């Protein structure tokens, strides 16, 4: 990806400016959740919609187009979806993003895709429409389910650790630290760091040869007991800032600031607004996503 073209969209400064709008989206989703009669699926009502609503606006799509983004999460997070459903979805999404970028080239607005198209032209980056679509698609693929799954699983961890949840409710300034600990503890994208060695390299007592594939599990690094004492314990007071849940190096997650801010706002607001939140089914009945690139929950039935 032409990473440098979109880096300015994800700086801490730009993401901080989105805080009020993120708070508004989260509040509206929690209002909708509370309008249910005492039970709801938190994945459907909160975890999936927050990143898609926000991203729809960041890309400069019309609010009426939210269905494309909603459908994306619905298909990718649904355990019944087939390979065919996903292929159809990707084709639909590419068509939609292509039309949107063409519109932004003709009639730019104050949004990510307009700025991307303008930069491409002004800096002579030479990207054609298909290249721009693939950048936009990567942002959707990388940004939606990751954040949604962290909201779902993170909520579950907080419900299972009522003492920590109580501390966070009493002192919301701890939330930032707790989010890093959740990212470390859950390591939901632990096999995302896929590489091919370009030269022979020694790692410990192993030689990896040029051309060999490597999956550097960030989950293993985040649960390394020589770095994090008792790594299997969820501890909101530990300093987990140096976790590798967003990977490391040249391809480190571009959306880390955006993910962190969304998670902080969601958990802080959820704990404050629904102090009686609890699981509506025994944890053994929850359906977890296994075998994909990202770890998550299909549904999270809650009551209050």
- List residues near ligand HEM by CB under 6 A: 1, 3, 138-139, 142-143, 146-147, 150, 188-189, 192-193, 218, 245-247, 251-255, 258-259
Distance CA 301, CA 286 (A): 8
Distance in Å, CB of 170 to ligand HEM, minimum = 25
Give the position of tokens 């300034």: 173
Nearer to ligand HEM, 93 or 259 (CB): 259
Distance in Å, CB of 252 to ligand HEM, minimum = 6
Q: How far is CA 295 from CA 17, 134, 288, in A?
A: 29, 24, 7
Distance in Å, CB of 51 to ligand HEM, minimum = 7
Distance CA 272, CA 268 (A): 6
Distance in Å, CB of 61 to ligand HEM, minimum = 14
Nearer to ligand HEM, 255 or 299 (CB): 255
Distance CA 66, CA 68 (A): 5
How many Cβ atoms sit within 10 Å of the Cβ of residue 199? 8
Please give the structure tokens belonging to residue 126.
């030479």
CB-neighbour burial class of residue 14 (10 A; exposed 0-12, middle 13-18, buried 19+):
middle
What is the number of the residue whose Cβ is closest to ligand HEM? Answer: 255
Distance in Å, CB of 224 to ligand HEM, minimum = 16
Distance CA 152, CA 42 (A): 7
Nearer to ligand HEM, 34 or 94 (CB): 94
Q: How far is CA 273 from CA 45, 241, 248, in A?
A: 15, 27, 35
Nearer to ligand HEM, 48 or 188 (CB): 188
Nearer to ligand HEM, 248 or 304 (CB): 248
Distance in Å, CB of 243 to ligand HEM, minimum = 10
């Amino acid at each position: 990806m032409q990473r440098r073209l979109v880096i300015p969209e994800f700086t801490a400064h730009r993401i901080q400016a989105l805080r009020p709008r993120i708070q508004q989206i989260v509040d509206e989703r929690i209002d909708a959740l509370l309008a249910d009669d005492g039970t709801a699926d938190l994945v459907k009502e909160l975890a999936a919609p927050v990143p898609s609503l926000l991203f729809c606006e960041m890309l400069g799509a019309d609010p009426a187009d939210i269905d494309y983004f909603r459908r994306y999460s619905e298909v990718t997070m649904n355990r019944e979806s087939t390979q065919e459903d996903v292929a159809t979805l990707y084709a639909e999404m590419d068509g939609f993003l292509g039309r949107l970028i063409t519109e932004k080239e003709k009639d730019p607005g104050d949004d990510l895709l307009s700025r991307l198209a303008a930069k491409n032209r002004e800096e002579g980056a030479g990207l054609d429409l298909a290249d721009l679509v693939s950048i936009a698609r990567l942002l959707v693929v990388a940004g939606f389910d990751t954040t949604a799954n962290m909201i779902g699983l993170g909520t579950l961890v907080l419900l299972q650790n009522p003492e920590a949840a109580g501390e966070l409710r009493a002192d919301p300034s701890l939330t930032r630290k707790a989010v890093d600990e959740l990212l470390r503890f859950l390591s939901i994208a632990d096999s995302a760091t896929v590489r091919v060695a370009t030269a022979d390299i020694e790692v410990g007592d192993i030689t990896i040869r040029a051309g060999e594939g490597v999956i550097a599990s960030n989950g293993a690094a985040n649960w390394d007991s020589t770095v994090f004492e008792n790594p299997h314990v969820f501890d909101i007071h530990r300093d987990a800032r140096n976790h590798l849940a967003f990977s490391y190096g040249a391809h480190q997650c571009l959306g880390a600031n955006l993910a962190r801010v969304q998670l902080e706002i969601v958990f802080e607001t959820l704990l404050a607004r629904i102090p009686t939140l609890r699981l509506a089914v025994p944890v053994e009945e929850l359906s977890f996503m296994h075998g994909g690139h990202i770890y998550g929950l299909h549904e999270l039935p809650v009551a209050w």
